[in-house]
């Protein structure tokens, strides 16, 4: 099998110290391939990059309207947030309106990924809860949907629960796949994961961003979620995070989402394109640079947005004393 190409180089001094291989694909909403590199048919667990699609039943079912879900709450339903105070309080208030609370979330707890939020908990002598989990917004969306539709909330993470069956149906329709025999796993937040070809993932994201040919209800749900993310990029990730910074920089031209283990996706609504990439070794630093490179090539950016993304693509490495000692950049020729 041919190895995937080198996409990102990490340099120190005069030499390339590390190199990251990966694969990527850009498709239109009909599945036409605009650009590709590496094995785009090999399967990948999308991890959190699929959250846009996992949130569709929240809107389509009427649950979002029934509980007055705001744009910030819709954005955090798609988020891998940093556990900052605004993230935590947004999810807490949303659950309360639905007659639910932190104990109803089955995502588990971990320290906030944003250092300042984690330090605050430590100073206050508090332990993190499920609300601090980066996936708490996604889980809030799921339990809200269950409450609205009359499904049992407890056990909503199980593959045979009606909520997960709804989500699989969304995946199949959006990605154009029969997933009955697809490889399965369990995500870090305990929800099911289904492995899909990278090409199909890009197609699903293209359809999310340019849903004109989808049934009217689903198209409206896609547009509403995308608009919420563009309006509230902080809720999707947080302070200093690539997803938040890139969405802000693109000024409405792209909706971008990370997944664990070097996965990234982006929808380019005006161009009807979807981007999906996977870094072989799972390095987030390489995935961010690669996504920035693909945004520059396919998002139609110019002026200030282009300059802002260029700054994210070619980043420097500083040592503990703050001195620049290296760089991370797209590999030459890519």
pLDDT at site 1? 56
Is the pLDDT at 326 greater than 60? The verdict is: yes
In a domain, 147, yes or no: no
> Cα 243 vs. chain centroid, distance in angstroms?
8
Is the pLDDT at 324 greater than 80? The verdict is: yes
In a domain, 130, yes or no: no
- What total of structural domains would you count in the chain? 1
pLDDT at site 191? 98
C-beta atoms surrounding 321 within 10 Å: 6
Place of tokens 């990439």: 277
In a domain, 270, yes or no: yes
In a domain, 244, yes or no: yes
**Sign of the CA dihedral 206, 207, 209, 213?**
positive
In a domain, 31, yes or no: yes
List the one residue out of 141, 154, 170, 153 whose CA is nearest residue 66. Answer: 141
pLDDT at site 203? 98
**Sign of the CA dihedral 207, 212, 216, 220?**
positive
List the one residue out of 141, 135, 126 whose CA is nearest residue 94. Answer: 141
In this structure, what is the dihedral angle of CA atoms 218, 220, 224, 225, given to the nearest 10 degrees? Answer: 20
pLDDT digits (tens, 9 = 90+) for 27-70: 999 999 999 999 999 999 999 999 999 999 999 999 999 999 99
User: Mean pLDDT throughout 118-131?
Assistant: 97
Coil, strand or helix at 154: coil
- Name the residue range of residue 162's domain: 6-60+153-330
User: For the residues of 224-258, what is the DSSP string, one character each?
Assistant: HHHHHHHH-HHHHS-TT-HHHHHHHHHTTS-EEEE
**What is the C-alpha separation between 266 and 247, in angstroms, rounded?**
10
pLDDT digits (tens, 9 = 90+) for 92-106: 999 999 999 999 999
Q: What is the pTM of this model?
A: 0.96
Q: Look up the CATH number of the domain holding residue 247.
A: 3.40.710
pLDDT at site 314? 82
User: For the residues of 77-108, what is the DSSP string, one character each?
Assistant: HT------HHHHHHHHHHHHHTT--GGG--S-
In a domain, 121, yes or no: no
Q: Are 108 and 189 in contact (CB under 8 A)?
A: yes
């Amino acid at each position: 099998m041919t190895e995937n190409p080198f996409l990102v180089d990490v340099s120190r001094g005069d030499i390339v110290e590390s190199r990251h291989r990966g694969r990527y694909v850009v498709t239109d909403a009909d599945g036409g391939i605009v650009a590709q590199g590496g094995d785009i048919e090999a399967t990948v667990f999308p991890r959190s990059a699929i959250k846009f699609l996992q949130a569709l039943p929240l809107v389509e079912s009427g649950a979002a309207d029934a509980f007055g879900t705001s744009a910030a709450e819709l954005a955090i339903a798609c988020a891998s947030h940093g556990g900052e105070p605004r993230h935590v309080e947004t999810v807490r208030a949303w659950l309360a309106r639905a007659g639910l609370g932190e104990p109803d979330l089955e995502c588990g707890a971990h320290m906030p990924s944003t250092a300042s939020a984690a330090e605050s908990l430590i100073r206050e002598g508090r332990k993190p809860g499920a609300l601090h989990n980066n996936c708490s917004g996604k889980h809030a969306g799921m339990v809200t949907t269950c409450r609205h539709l009359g499904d049992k909330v407890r056990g909503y993470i199980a593959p045979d629960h009606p909520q997960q069956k709804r989500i699989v149906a969304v995946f199949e329709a959006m990605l154009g796949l029969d997933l009955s025999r697809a490889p399965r796993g369990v995500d870090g937040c305990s929800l099911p994961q289904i492995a899909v070809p990278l090409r199909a993932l890009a197609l699903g994201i293209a359809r999310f961003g340019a849903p004109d040919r989808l049934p009217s209800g689903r198209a409206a749900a896609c547009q509403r979620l995308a608009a919420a993310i563009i309006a509230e990029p902080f809720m999707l990730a947080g302070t200093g995070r690539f997803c938040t910074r890139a969405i802000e920089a693109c000024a409405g031209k792209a909706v971008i989402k990370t997944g664990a283990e070097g996965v990234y996706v982006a929808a380019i609504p005006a161009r009807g394109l979807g981007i999906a990439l996977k870094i072989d070794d799972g390095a987030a630093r390489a995935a961010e640079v690669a996504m920035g490179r693909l945004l520059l090539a396919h998002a139609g950016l110019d002026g200030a947005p282009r300059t802002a993304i260029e700054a994210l693509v070619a980043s420097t490495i500083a040592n503990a004393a703050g001195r620049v000692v290296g760089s991370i950049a797209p590999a030459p020729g890519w």
